[in-house]
Amino acid sequence: MEKSAKHLTNVLSPREVEVLKMISEGESRDQIAQQLNISKLTYDGYRKNIRMKLGIKNQADWMKVLYSIEKIQTK
């Protein structure tokens, strides 16, 4: 389920990519909502959209995506 940077930017909105990067950096729901000046429910919506668009079904899938993001950011 490895996702390339190009795939992620083609599938996700810029804001969803931003939220995903913040999740991969270990930011909490509250921190992300505060930093982006959005409600926690809006954050939940972005996270749900990311899951649906990337086909994330369980925690293992989340870990694979977050690992891929980390690899992309370190290149």
Q: DSSP letters of 26-75?
A: T--HHHHHHHHT--HHHHHHHHHHHHHHHT--SHHHHHHHHHHHHHHHH-
Give the CA distances from residue 41 to residues 20, 34, 37, in Å, rounded to whole numbers and listed in that order: 16, 12, 12
- Domains delineated in the chain: 5-74 (1.10.10.10)
How far is the C-alpha of 61 from the C-alpha of 38, rounded, in Å? Answer: 26
Q: Which of 8, 26, 6, 29 lies closest to 17 in space, CA to CA?
A: 8
> For position 4, what pLDDT does the model report?
65
* Full pLDDT tens readout for the chain, 75 residues: 456 667 777 899 999 999 999 999 999 999 999 999 999 999 999 999 999 999 999 999 998 888 887 766 655
